[in-house]
Each structure stands twice: as C-alpha cells, then as structure tokens.
Amino acid sequence: MPGLQTKSLSVTETQALESGQWVQLKEVPSAFAQDEALLLCEISQNQWLTWVPNHGEYLLELSK
C-alpha cells in the first residue's frame, strides 16, 4: 500500500488475530504515537492494516 509506513511486530499471543483486536507494539512509529495498534483488516497472511492512536493508519508486518 503506497504511502503507509511499515513496521514489524512480534506476536506473542497464541490466539488468532482478528479485526477489532488491539495489539501491543514493540516499537512506536513516532514519539507521539500510542504503543498499541487496532487491527483493521488483514492484507496478507503476515500483514495487517492498523490504526495507531496519535499516528494514523499503519501497515504492520507480523512475525513470530
């Protein structure tokens, strides 16, 4: 998705991820952003479009 920043996220939860779920970020995208992201929709098996409070939309790459 052009224009979106991408950040890797290590997932420690054993449960399946789903839209509407909040996940903890290991690194925040900016000094003003929250340390959690709301999962909006799955882009691929390891990518989610998210919303980070005080930052906006964000593309997360998941790793285990």
Record the pTM: 0.74
pLDDT for the residue 13: 54
- Domain ranges in the chain are 6-63
Q: Residue 14 to residues 11, 17, 29, 64: CA-CA distances in angstroms?
A: 8, 9, 24, 10
**What is the C-alpha separation between 57 and 64, in angstroms, rounded?**
22
Tell me the per-residue pLDDT of 19-62, one tens digit each, with 9 for 90 and over.
999 988 877 777 888 888 899 999 988 888 998 898 888 888 87
